Structure 1
């Protein structure tokens, strides 16, 4: 389980502290890009074996020097924080800088001592200039391999250079030495939080697989503002739920949706968060975020809750090797004493990622364990679980979802009302001692291929 703290108030306080701690010259570019700052998931700092320093992006420069990478930093901030991405199912990897939300490119337009330098400057989709291969290089280090005009090059840190070129990262070496070795240091997660007293309350909850990255769905063709308006309208039709779970979501849609929810009269503040579904980087075991098409950032799941002192957790679910590595996303809301989680399980059955449905069973167990690890928080969860209530693993035994039913009550329990074609795949669950006072399924899928499901649950005091 990976935890990430966030609220707008907390972000403002953090920014204030950073303003005090960091040098004035770097402040303008230290804030994370607004379209990607709502993301949970693994984050890394790169350490050069050649210099012993962190790799930093120089966002204070202009022109064709903007965002160039140098292994010269002594500490980690947003200029030194990266995420891994893939649009080739793990065969290649792209690095994205936390501070500006841009991918790292290898620049061959400049010649001489800067030919092939790396810059965090690509704000579109991942292209050939942004694709690297992570090559294990011993002792937990990796080399970044890049192919240019048919020639293989490895990224070097220019240890012996002087002045502004000292430690500059360039794709120029033909072999792997100390200058070409980097470690990926996973950055620590935020601390946990403590629930308030668990008072009785009613919560309206909704889940919808929005099909935002599938070219067969009309939602795929919508603009960011159209997408936000569509989901907001669906939430209004569901009676304005206080918790919204979303699957098949694209990262850069989070902020527009948040703004659209807040624009409704009397809606108050909202916080929309995202967590990526990933692919293993070939030969490394490292997960990289799967990308959405149309420059919409990473692909995964999202949730929306009212903006308050909320902590976020990306729960990496056990998934079939070589296939999509599934993730759940949880928000703990202190004042409600609630942990709310959205999930999108592996596709099970013959011909799909999890043909025996053995990983779906493990995903149920992993999410159940994650919920149980937060004592005092009452679990509300759901999403596209890609299994019907009765389906069992190919090896037989109990139904796949029994682990949920044993400890929780389901919004539409005892029915097989379909949510995708003629199958019931989408669910909402609450604690065993809770009671669903209503449960509904949208009559139409709208621009998606799944029906939305929503209900009102009464949580007793505990």
Structure 2
């Protein structure tokens, strides 16, 4: 549902997103979050605790209908975060200016709204039922308090008058609405208005399952493409989801790709692309498309997932691998302060003994995020190390690395991408043909002593992206 009346403006918020890993959730079904490596959280109330004094977190009412549907109530024991259900877990999102943030429920994939159109006892109640891009009713400011607690502040404007409200957990309310979360308190926050975001551990181990060994030499066809799905000046941005997934699938078919790396990708396109690839192959359960978000700092040391335009959820990178994949991991890369926090995403293909990783580095050079390019060089070193750290697996890397093969940091003679060239073989070396305008920015690397053949740079003819796709066949040595 989308409202005709919109409320106020907000700013700021909290979130820490570090290195993440995830396995597919049987409970989530086709909900977007099943395919995402974004960090999940529980919302703990300071005022609420059970009779044994255990911490209590907010839960979304997924088993109720009508006026009770999707309400948030602080009344679930969360002393063991790993045991929480999707109804008690959320992801955090922000717009491109990092001036607002929203909670999205893992139970139904919908954003939490403060509903000020309801009167009396439900005025300002929080409900997870906004299924479009988040707007003003879904935006909250995080006000830092002592010892890691914070208050959620909501700004409501009515008849030209702006007023701030803090979200309360109404723990003294009895009956069905006990612990109801409502944005209704205008005074300084007390214990009812204090919360924590509790990190939810993923069910998968931080380490992948053991690779199938011994692994014979293997040839894989690999494709990387920056799809610019969040760039209003790019043709891909203008495509419908069906047209977008057609464009990716067509290039994957031309490349006969076994592994697909994608950058500037929107989360909401992951599942449709998976279905499109499987339909092309004449069956189901042949591909998995995984996603990891790029983030924006919304407060000191706090990050939230950057939102894609056109109601396509979070913005980031994606990887398509065989459906046997059950383990994938997002690795947050050190990034310039107050700029996008870039990420790499790795996925294990156990039967191939292959660890496939994709990344989109910060933009470097004068007047860009990383003027000296030293952060880019650190990102290259981190990616090179991360892809190679999994015992028994052969590393394969693809992505938009936002640097040419010869670019050097201002104060160093070492090329930005040297950490990758030191340990890996690149598909188009030494030709190094341009992939974006007149520059080579897109790469395919495989751990030495792998060899590449048939490296191809797509043409600009009928190319809806501002980057050309790159594909080739890599032969990986036996392990």
Structure 1 length as normaliser, TM-score? 0.92
Structure 1 CA distance, aligned partners of 2:387 and 2:197?
Answer: 29
Quote the offset at 1:444 in angstroms: 2.0
Aligned length: 439
Quote the offset at 1:32 in angstroms: 5.0
2:113 is the counterpart of 1:101: no
2:195 is the counterpart of 1:179: no
Please name the residue that 1:214 is paired with: 231
Deviations 1:110-132 (A, max 9, x none): 12222101000100111110110
Please name the residue that 1:382 is paired with: 398
Structure 2 CA distance, aligned partners of 1:358 and 1:137?
Answer: 35
Tell me if structure 1 keeps the 8 A contact 2:44–2:56: yes
2:87 is the counterpart of 1:70: no
Matches within 5 A, 1:51-450: 51=48, 52-75=55-78, 76-149=84-157, 150-174=162-186, 175-189=188-202, 190-191=204-205, 192=207, 193-197=209-213, 198-238=215-255, 240-265=256-281, 269-283=286-300, 285-444=301-460, 446-450=463-467
Tell me if structure 2 keeps the 8 A contact 1:92–1:134: no
Structure 1 CA distance, aligned partners of 2:355 and 2:368?
Answer: 31
Deviations 1:20-66 (A, max 9, x none): xxxxxxxxxxx355344211121111111110311100122223432
Structure 2 CA distance, aligned partners of 1:282 and 1:265?
Answer: 45
Structure 2 CA distance, aligned partners of 1:422 and 1:372?
Answer: 31
Tell me if structure 2 keeps the 8 A contact 1:89–1:290: no
Structure 2 length as normaliser, TM-score? 0.89
Describe the SS at the equivalent of 2:260: strand
Describe the SS at the equivalent of 1:370: helix
Deviations 1:49-106 (A, max 9, x none): 1103111001222234321100111241100110010015322211001111111100
Deviations 1:165-213 (A, max 9, x none): 1110001112111111111111113213111112211101000001111
Deviations 1:143-166 (A, max 9, x none): 111100111111110011111111
Quote the offset at 1:334 in angstroms: 0.6
Flag the 1:63–1:88 CA change in 2: closer, same or farther, 3 A.
farther
Structure 2 CA distance, aligned partners of 1:179 and 1:454?
Answer: 56
Tell me if structure 2 keeps the 8 A contact 1:106–1:117: yes
Quote the offset at 1:287 in angstroms: 1.4
Tell me if structure 2 keeps the 8 A contact 1:71–1:168: yes
* RMSD between aligned residues: 1.4
2:20 is the counterpart of 1:2: yes
Describe the SS at the equivalent of 2:72: strand
Structure 1 CA distance, aligned partners of 2:269 and 2:154?
Answer: 31
Tell me if structure 2 keeps the 8 A contact 1:33–1:99: no
Structure 2 CA distance, aligned partners of 1:47 and 1:72?
Answer: 10
Describe the SS at the equivalent of 1:151: strand
Tell me if structure 2 keeps the 8 A contact 1:275–1:314: yes
Tell me if structure 1 keeps the 8 A contact 2:325–2:347: no
